[in-house]
Amino acid sequence: MTTPAPRPAPPADTAVDPSADDGCYRALQARDARFDGRFFTGVTSTGIYCRPVCAVRTPRRENCRFFTLAAQAEGAGFRPCLRCRPELAPQALAWSVQDASGILVRQAVQLLDAPEAWSTDDERGATVTRLAARLGVSDRHLRRIFEAALGVSPLQYLQTRRLLTAKQLLTDTPMPVTQVALASGFASVRRFNAAFAQHYGLNPTALRRGGTRAAGVQAATLRLAYRPPLDVPALLAFFARRQFHGVEWAGDAATPALRRTVRLQTRGAGGLQDHCGWLNAHFDPDRHQVLVQTSDSLYPVLPLVMRRVRAMLDLDADPAAINAVLHASFPEGDGLRVPGAFDGFELAVRAVLGQQITVAAARTLGQRLVERFGEPIATPWPELTRLFPSPAVLAQAPGEALGQLGIVRQRQAAIVALARAVDGGQLQLQGGADVAATTAALCALPGIGDWTAQYIAMRVLRWPDAFAAGDVALQKSLGVQAHKNPARAATQASLAWQPWRSYAVVRAWAAGSIASNPSATALELISK
């Protein structure tokens, strides 16, 4: 831990519940990675705050103050540790399905975490005003319940998120400071330098000189932490069984990596802009990290890339909370995650293609679609050669061309309608989107029903409580197929698993697959 001038102890109302302090200290002593991101420790003798996994000598108990958010620690005057790097910690997502204020705060946090919302046109409240309008409340009400729940204002939370992202980019990439500032949501280098100096007591260039990136390294290698356990082979097997050649490649236990081509679209002053390139995500299970390398073409959107990778690999899941609810029913699934999607539109098309057919058949159709409509792209790997077709391209795809690929008319109509809705901006397929409104909009499109909408909610919208009661494989795994109304019986059984029913579905699928083939790897034989 770097040692600036001592800081005063934080106000009591910003710290973790004192009743939990002893538990936090024991986790800190053990450097327990399961608690990474669930709290941060401010050390009053140094003025530094750390992750529970920090490798330095454990501070004295009386010098420790515990916080649930990095923004709380920074609001209390603590600076981030340069050794354990709080910006690497997985996010802590607290899910509520009953309390309206809790749901609103969670939605606000999700939107503030999204780099798409880090507007550079203002830094004095307009972002919060737009956020409140999107949530359907006044900005005054949003500020009140946000501060009551978290102890910091939405703007303070957003500023911490921007600064920690910038800190990671400065440390892990060769990006120029100007590019780091803009990518992190600052309107100018001047504002960025001022905010950095105010919060961290040094300028960005000084931080880069003292960073941990090896001298002479030119490529970006971003580190993304997760909480164990995580069944890496199962997760990679899931992606491997569904991969489209040219677009993605999934490794195995010997090469625990996932590679894919990338197209990201951002809106700026000049309109929509495409950022195309590639990424390579390599698992480091010993350190509970994923190491991500990208093409330099993606540098301007690296914060968005990091967020998408975290969602795709479900790195922010909290296994302790999930397993507390699900372990009794699915004792073999503690390390399973809900595989996400890097691109929401791509996953939605995959879901349409997979309706009522096997994974292998859906993969064949998707491969033909990529080869017919996907754009070529150069990458360092011969197995990555194409981008998945864009919404604009598929919105104009003639039915005859789709039919020649073996796609039936109902799915042709669904794909074209889906592409037009996304391309026209009527449908937002990304984490943080309103689940009820998005699933309703999906079901209003031709050829898309409840199963497809729930599947998209689970893997794209990152809704942890999605549940497709009509899924036949799920009903079979739960043993309710013989019921007069198996969907109702499945729903009734699922109530005990709220708010983690998405994880219950994945575990039920895996349990059913293993029961039919005991030698199979978990998720390897999942049908949907």
What is residue 354's predicted lDDT score, i.e. its pLDDT?
93
What is residue 9's predicted lDDT score, i.e. its pLDDT?
37
Segments in 173-245 forming alpha helices (H): 177-183, 189-200, 204-209, 232-242
What percentage of the chain has pLDDT greater than the value 90?
Answer: 73
Q: Are 284 and 290 in contact (CB under 8 A)?
A: yes
Q: Tens digits of per-residue pLDDT, 214-258?
A: 444 446 799 999 999 999 999 999 999 999 999 999 999 899 999
What is residue 429's predicted lDDT score, i.e. its pLDDT?
94
Taking CA atoms, 56 is separated from 63, 83, 478, in Å, by 15, 8, 47
What is residue 242's predicted lDDT score, i.e. its pLDDT?
96
Q: Tens digits of per-residue pLDDT, 390-430?
A: 999 999 999 999 999 999 999 999 999 999 999 999 999 98
Residue bearing tokens 């209003």: 444
For residue 254, the tally of other CB atoms under 10 A from its CB is 6
What is residue 256's predicted lDDT score, i.e. its pLDDT?
97
- For the cut 50, the answer to whether the pLDDT of residue 11 exceeds it is no
Q: Are 412 and 402 in contact (CB under 8 A)?
A: yes
- For the cut 70, the answer to whether the pLDDT of residue 84 exceeds it is yes
What is residue 265's predicted lDDT score, i.e. its pLDDT?
87
Domains present along the chain, CATH in parentheses: 12-86 (3.40.10.10), 100-209 (1.10.10.60), 223-516 (1.10.340.30)
Has 64 been annotated as catalytic?
no
What is residue 502's predicted lDDT score, i.e. its pLDDT?
96
- For the cut 90, the answer to whether the pLDDT of residue 4 exceeds it is no
Residue predicted with more confidence, 134 or 293: 293
Q: Average the pLDDT over 341-353 and give the result.
A: 97
- For the cut 50, the answer to whether the pLDDT of residue 514 exceeds it is no
Sign of the C-alpha dihedral, residues 357, 360, 362, 368?
negative
Tokens of 338: 């809900």
Q: Tens digits of per-residue pLDDT, 186-198?
A: 989 999 999 999 9
What is residue 348's predicted lDDT score, i.e. its pLDDT?
98
Has 81 been annotated as catalytic?
no
What is residue 131's predicted lDDT score, i.e. its pLDDT?
87
- For the cut 60, the answer to whether the pLDDT of residue 522 exceeds it is no
Contacts of 355 (CB under 8 A, 6+ apart): 411, 447, 451, 452
Q: Average the pLDDT over 164-181 and give the result.
A: 94
Name the residue among 302, 274, 82, 291 with its Cα closest to residue 175: 302
- For the cut 60, the answer to whether the pLDDT of residue 147 exceeds it is yes
Name the residue among 229, 223, 209, 216 with its Cα closest to residue 85: 223
Q: Tens digits of per-residue pLDDT, 423-465?
A: 999 999 988 788 999 999 999 999 999 999 999 999 999 999 9
Q: Are 127 and 119 in contact (CB under 8 A)?
A: yes
The phi-psi region of residue 40 (left if phi > 0; otherwise alpha if psi is between -120 and 50; otherwise beta) is beta
Mean per-residue pLDDT of the chain: 88
Which 3 state secondary structure label does DSSP give 506? helix
pLDDT band at 125 (very low <50, low <70, confident <90, very high): low
Among 24, 50, 64, 81, which one carries the catalytic annotation?
50
What is residue 123's predicted lDDT score, i.e. its pLDDT?
52
Q: Average the pLDDT over 486-495 and give the result.
A: 94
Q: Are 470 and 450 in contact (CB under 8 A)?
A: yes
Q: Are 201 and 79 in contact (CB under 8 A)?
A: yes
Beta sheet of 289-294, edge-to-edge order: 221-225, 289-294, 271-284, 257-268, 248-250
What is residue 217's predicted lDDT score, i.e. its pLDDT?
41
- For the cut 80, the answer to whether the pLDDT of residue 16 exceeds it is no
What is residue 14's predicted lDDT score, i.e. its pLDDT?
39
Taking CA atoms, 297 is separated from 134, 166, 219, 244, 264, in Å, by 31, 18, 12, 22, 11
pLDDT band at 520 (very low <50, low <70, confident <90, very high): very low
What is residue 211's predicted lDDT score, i.e. its pLDDT?
52
pLDDT band at 263 (very low <50, low <70, confident <90, very high): very high
What is residue 235's predicted lDDT score, i.e. its pLDDT?
96
The number of C-alpha atoms within 13 Å of 49 and in the hemisphere containing its C-beta is 32
Q: What is the rounded CA–CA span in Å between residue 173 and residue 50?
A: 22
What is residue 434's predicted lDDT score, i.e. its pLDDT?
86
The pTM for the full model equals: 0.89
- For the cut 80, the answer to whether the pLDDT of residue 271 exceeds it is no
- For the cut 50, the answer to whether the pLDDT of residue 5 exceeds it is no
